[in-house]
Amino acid sequence: MQADFWDVRKSNTEDKAYLIENGDVEYISTSIGFSVVVRAFYDGGWGVVSSNYDRKTEDLLKDAIRLAKISSKKANKTFLKRYETYTTPKNCLIGKMSEEEEEISLLKEIERSSRVDKRVASTRIDYKSTKLDMVYYSDDLNEEFYEMERTRYSIVVLSKDGNEHQFGSERDYIIGGSEILDGEKPYLLAKKAALTSLDLLNASSPPSGMKDVILDQNLGGVFIHEAVGHATEADLILAGNSILKDKIGEKIGSLLVNVYDDPSMKEYGHYPFDDEGIRPERRLLIKDGILVGNIHNRETASLMHGKPGNGRAEVGDVPIPRMSNTYIKNGDMNMDELLEMIGNGVYLCGSRGGEVNTGEGIFHFNAEKGYIIKDGEIGNMIKDVSLSGDTLTILKNIIGVGNDLKINGGYCGKDGQIVPVGSGSPHIAIKSVIVGGE
Amino acid sequence: MEASKIDLLSSEGLRQYAKKIGTEGIEIYIYKEESLSIKTRCEALERFVRDYTKGYGIRVSFNNSFGFSTTSIEKEIEAQILSAKKNAKIKGRDEWWKGFIKDYDQKDKYSLDLGIYDKKVEELDEEDMMEFVDEINNGIGSIKGVNPVSNSIFKSNSKIRIINSEGIDKESETTMIYGFSDVIISNDKNNSSSAYEFDVSHNNNIDFFKIGENAAKMAKESMNGKKIDSKEYDIILCPFAVSDLFDNIFVNNIKGDEVLKGRSHFTNDIGSSVSNAGLNIVDNGLYYGGIGSSLFDDEGVNSLENIIIDDGILKGFIYDNYTAGKIGKKSTGNAIRDSYASIPRIDIRNLIINHKEKGNLIDETRDGILINSFIGAHTANEITGDFSLEGKNSFKIEDGELKYPIRSLMVYGNFFDLLNKTVMCGKDQRKIFNIITPSLLVKDVKVI
C-alpha cells in the first residue's frame, strides 16, 4: 500500500503538578506518558492513527493509509507539496531541576507574600512542569528530535469584605524548569495578585457604551491573538470561516499596525520544529495595516502557495495551523503620550479570557481590571469591565501604538487541542470601542 | 522491588502490595478507549482519525496523606505506585484524609440499565460515518444559501475499571456518539452570520440531518441583524445560553470543596430561598441516557440523585469522598476525573434544571429578546455572579412574536439575580452534554 505522504511523531512526556491552597498542599501529581501519531495522505484525504501505548508503528501506518484512501473518496482532490526537513542535532531546552520538596517549600513561602491584609480570604497556587521528548520522521526518513521543558504557575488571591468578593491573579510561564521560582519575581507577583483583589473590593462599576480606550500589553496581546491571529489561520480561511478570507494585500487596519508570528523567538510559544517537522521562521502577518500573511501547516501552504511552519498539535493529536508567538510590533509613543491622546476614556488591563467568532469578526473580552482615564490621567479603578466589538473596526480605530512591547505566555485552544503560545503588544490606544458595564 | 508474583490489577494484589511497601492503601483507575472520528472542511472530507487510549491513575494512601501519579505504560505501574507514595510523603499529613472507599460501604449493588452502552455505536464503521456526514450536509443544503464550515462526527467505546486495596473492583463500559456542524452564510455586502448545532448520545439515535438543518436555519434567520435600544428587557435564554451560564457560574457554587473554602456564593444558604420559588434543580448520576450517567463515580462510589434547589430553596451541595469526610457526610457520588491523568475532583453528573411554570415563552413576552447562546461565558465572575456577555444568534420579540435578528448585544447582569427573576420555563428541554434544561424566561435584564 502506498500513500502520497506519511509521517510519524512520537513523544515521551514527564509532568509534575502541585496545587497549594491557603498554604496547604492539596495534591502532588507526577505522570509519565507516551504517544505516537501516524498520518498518511492519499489523493486529498488524510488518515490518522494515534495511540498512547505500545502498538506497532507499521500496523498504525497500514491503518492510516487505509483510512486516507477511504477519506479520499469524498475529499477534494488536492496535491500535497514536498517541503524540506533537516536532520538536526538534538535540540535540548531543559531547565534547572530542583527536588519537589524544595519547590513546594518555596511555593509556600511565595504564598505567604500574598497575605498582605486581613481581607485576603483564600489563595491558590497551581504549579506545573512538563518535559517533552519529541521524535519526528516522514517518508523521506530524516529524523528530527528535540527535548523541551515548559514550566508555569498561577497565583489566584480571593479577598472578601462583607458580601463583596474579588479575585486578583498573576502568572508566569517559561521554557525551562525550577528557575521560574528564582529571585524576587514570584514574591512580587503573589503580592500584586493580592493587591489587585483588595483594590477591586473598592472599585466601581465601569461606564458603558462607546469609549476611547487604552489596552495594556496583556490585553493587547490577547486581542491580537484572539481577534486577528485566529482569523489569519489558513484552515479557517479555507473553510470560509474568517473575515480575512481573500483579503491578502488589502488594508485591514490602521497604518500603525504591524503584526508578527515568530516561533523562533524563545518565548512560551517557541518550538525548534513544528509538529510536521518543518523548521519555522518569523512570519509577517500585517504590515502597515495591510494583510500580508497567513498561518500555515503543510496542507494549507500547499493549497494556498504559502509557507508552512505553524503545523502544531497537542501531544497525541493532529497538527493544524496554529500561532506561536504573536505580537504587535512596537510603535513610537510612550504611555504619557497615549494617555494624552485619549484624554477621557478607559484603561483596560489584563485578561479574564475572551472568545471570538472568526467568521463574523466579532469578539468579546473581559479585562481583569480597568481605570478611568480623566483629562489624560489614570484615575479610579473599575471592575467587571468587558470589551467587545468588530475586529475590523477596532483594527482601523487603533490611533496610537506604544513602545513598550511585552510578550506573555499562555495557552490557546482550538478544535479541542490546547497548545502553548506567546502573545504580546505594546500599550495601544483605540477610539470608539464598546465597553460593558452598568 | 519485585512485584512479579503480585497481580497489581486486582484488589487483593493491591492489598498485598500496599502492605509490602508499607502504605495504607492503593487505588488504580484504569481507562481504555477506542475512538473513530471524521471531519470535513466545508463539505469535503478532510480526515479520519482513529485513536487508542489507555491509562492508569494511581492514588496511594500513606502517612495519613495521599499522593497521585499516572502513566499510560502498563509496565510502569509499579514505579508510579512508588512515585505516588513519595508524593504523599511530600504533601505531608492531612487530617482530613481518611483513605479510599470500602467495599462494605457499597453493598447495595445497582443493576440498573442506564442506557449508556449501545453495541450499534461500537459497530459503526467508516462507511457509516461517511453517510452521517452526507446527512449533515443534506440538512444544511435544505436551507438555501448556507454553507458548511466544518462538520465532525466522533464515536467511542470506553471502559473504566476502579480497583482499590479495600475490596473495590468495579467496571463499566459506555459508548458515545457526537455530531457537530458549524455553518456560515454570507451576502455580497460582506455581511455574514454563523451558527452551530450538535447532538451527543450514548446510543445510535442521533438525527444528523436535523443537526445540519438546525444550524443552517439559525444562521439564515440571524442574517442582517439590527441594533436595539439599550435598556431592560425580558429575556428568553435558550438551552445553550442557560447551559453557558450554569456551567460557568452555578456549578462552581454548589461544589462542596468551594463551599467549605468560602468560595461559594451559597456558603451559608442551605435552607434559604436562593431563587424564584418555581425553580427546581437536581444533579442525577443515574439519569437514563445522561452523558454524565454511570452506576458509580470515578472513585467507585455508587451514583445518586441529589436535590440542589427545591422550589427555590437551597437543599444541598455535591461532594466527593474526601470533602464529604471533612464534614462527616457521605460522598454524593460526584468525584469526576477529566481523564485517567487527572486527579478526581468534584463536579456535576447530570444537572437537571426545571421550573414549575411551563409555557410557550415567546407567547408570554411583549418586549423582549431571545438569546440562543453566549460568547465568552467563561469570563463571568463565578463567585460574585457578575457577567457582561455578548449574545449570539439573538432575536427581538414583540407582542409574542419573533420580529428580527439582533446584530450585536451585550447582556449585563448578575447570575444570582437572574435566578430570582426566572419566572417560567419552556417545553423544549434538551441535553447540552451534562446539563439538561429547557429555555428559561428571565424578567428585567439589562441589555446594552
Q: Which structural domains are found in chain A, ordered by start?
A: 5-201 (3.30.2290.10), 209-436 (no CATH)
- Mark yes or no for CB contact B379/A235 under 8 Å: no
- Enumerate residue ranges in chain B where pLDDT < 50: 1
Residues A50-92 have pLDDT tens digits of 999 989 999 999 999 999 999 999 999 888 999 988 777 778 9
Tell me what ipTM this predicted complex has. Answer: 0.94
Nearest by CB to B376, which of A71, A241, A364? A364
Q: What is the mean pLDDT of residues A186-205?
A: 96
- Mark yes or no for CB contact B50/A238 under 8 Å: no
Judgement on whether residues B172 and B310 belong to the same structural domain of the protein:
no
Residue B44 belongs to some domain of the structure: no
Confidence of residue A362 (pLDDT cuts 50, 70, 90): confident
Judgement on whether residues B75 and B134 belong to the same structural domain of the protein:
no
Pairing of strands B25-41, B147-164: antiparallel
Judgement on whether residues B343 and B239 belong to the same structural domain of the protein:
yes
Least confident of A84-93, A200-209, A396-405, B345-354: A84-93
Kind plus residue range of the DSSP H or E element containing A411: strand A406-414
- Which residues of chain B have a CB within 8 Å of the CB of A45? 45-48
Judgement on whether residues B297 and B368 belong to the same structural domain of the protein:
yes
- Mark yes or no for CB contact A359/B184 under 8 Å: yes
Q: How much is the pLDDT for B448?
A: 81
Domain boundary among B194, B221, B248: B221
Please enumerate in sequence order all residues whose Cβ is within 8 A of that of B75, keeping only pairs 6 or more positions apart, or say none.
Answer: none
Q: How far apart are CA A76 and CA B304, in angstroms?
A: 49
Judgement on whether residues B175 and B316 belong to the same structural domain of the protein:
no
- Mark yes or no for CB contact A31/B392 under 8 Å: no
Residue B61 belongs to some domain of the structure: yes
Residue B76, chain A, CB below 8 Å: the answer is yes
Judgement on whether residues B204 and B275 belong to the same structural domain of the protein:
no
User: Among residues 87-106 of chain B, which lie with CB inside 8 Å of chain A?
Assistant: 87-88, 90-92, 94
Q: Does residue A320 have a pLDDT over 70? A: yes
Nearest by CB to B91, which of A28, A363, A386? A28
In whole numbers, what is the pLDDT of chain A averaged over residues?
94
- Mark yes or no for CB contact A68/B48 under 8 Å: yes
- Mark yes or no for CB contact A53/B72 under 8 Å: yes
Residue B42 belongs to some domain of the structure: no
- Mark yes or no for CB contact A74/B133 under 8 Å: yes
**A259 near A224, Cβ under 8 Å?**
yes
- Mark yes or no for CB contact B388/A386 under 8 Å: yes
Rounded to a whole number of angstroms, the distance from the CA of A27 to the nearest CA of chain B is 7
**Nearest chain A residue (CA) to B190:** A243
Residue B112 belongs to some domain of the structure: no
CATH number of residue B56's parent domain:
3.30.160
Nearest by CB to B73, which of A32, A362, A434? A32
For helices A185-201 and A100-112, the axis angle rounded to 10 degrees is 40
Residue A66 — φ and ψ, nearest 5°? -60, -45
Residue from B32, B40, B41 whose CB has the most chain A CBs within 10 Å, to mutate: B41
- Mark yes or no for CB contact B194/A240 under 8 Å: no
Judgement on whether residues B163 and B239 belong to the same structural domain of the protein:
no
- Identify the burial level of B228 via C-beta atoms within 10 angstroms of its C-beta, where 0-12 means exposed, 13-18 middle and 19 or more buried: middle
Rounded to a whole number of angstroms, the distance from the CA of B439 to the nearest CA of chain A is 23
Q: Does residue A308 have a pLDDT over 90? A: yes
- Mark yes or no for CB contact B87/A28 under 8 Å: yes
Judgement on whether residues B288 and B154 belong to the same structural domain of the protein:
no
Nearest by CB to B184, which of A31, A104, A240? A240
Give SS3 for A397.
Answer: coil
Nearest by CB to A240, which of B53, B68, B147? B147
Q: Does residue A18 have a pLDDT over 60? A: yes
Number of CB atoms found within 10 A of residue A144's CB: 22
Judgement on whether residues B241 and B206 belong to the same structural domain of the protein:
no
Nearest by CB to A235, which of B41, B54, B74? B41
Q: Does residue A438 have a pLDDT over 80? A: no
Residue B338, chain A, CB below 8 Å: the answer is no
Least confident of A122-126, A222-226, A353-357, B283-287: A353-357
- Mark yes or no for CB contact B91/A27 under 8 Å: yes
Least confident of A229-233, A364-368, B35-39, B249-253: A364-368
**Nearest chain A residue (CA) to B41:** A239
Domain boundary among B199, B221, B243: B221
Judgement on whether residues B295 and B434 belong to the same structural domain of the protein:
yes
Residue B217 belongs to some domain of the structure: yes
Rounded to a whole number of angstroms, the distance from the CA of B144 to the nearest CA of chain A is 17
Q: How far apart are CA B121 and CA B157, in angstroms?
A: 8
Q: How far apart are CA B403 and CA B397, in angstroms?
A: 5
Q: How much is the pLDDT for A208?
A: 81
Least confident of A340-349, A378-387, B393-402: A378-387
Rounded to a whole number of angstroms, the distance from the CA of B91 to the nearest CA of chain A is 6
- Which residues of chain B have a CB within 8 Å of the CB of A35? 72
Q: How far apart are CA A337 and CA B88, in angstroms?
A: 55
Q: How many CA atoms lie within 13 A of A414 on its CB side?
A: 24
Q: Tally the domains of chain B.
A: 3
Judgement on whether residues B163 and B129 belong to the same structural domain of the protein:
yes
Residue B294 belongs to some domain of the structure: yes
- Mark yes or no for CB contact B384/A25 under 8 Å: no
Pairing of strands A386-390, A428-436: antiparallel
CATH number of residue B146's parent domain:
3.30.2290.10
Rounded to a whole number of angstroms, the distance from the CA of B416 to the nearest CA of chain A is 13
Q: How much is the pLDDT for B1?
A: 47
Please enumerate in sequence order all residues whose Cβ is within 8 A of that of B302, keeping only pairs 6 or more positions apart, or say none.
Answer: B106, B108, B110, B295, B296, B333
Residues A258-299 have pLDDT tens digits of 999 999 999 999 999 999 999 989 999 999 999 999 999 999
Domain boundary among B221, B255, B287: B221
- How many CB pairs lie under 8 A apart between chains A and B? 225
Residue B111 belongs to some domain of the structure: no
- Mark yes or no for CB contact B73/A365 under 8 Å: no
Name the residue range of residue B25's domain.
11-35+50-104
- Mark yes or no for CB contact A104/B90 under 8 Å: yes
- Mark yes or no for CB contact A71/B80 under 8 Å: no
**B294 near B267, Cβ under 8 Å?**
no
**Nearest chain A residue (CA) to B83:** A30
**Nearest chain A residue (CA) to B146:** A240
Residue from B48, B78, B406 whose CB has the most chain A CBs within 10 Å, to mutate: B48
Residue B110 belongs to some domain of the structure: no
DSSP A273-289: S-TTSPPP--EEEEETT
Nearest by CB to A238, which of B41, B193, B230? B41
User: Among residues 270-329 of chain B, which lie with CB inside 8 Å of chain A?
Assistant: none
- Which residues of chain B have a CB within 8 Å of the CB of A353? 376, 378-379
Nearest by CB to B149, which of A31, A241, A363? A241
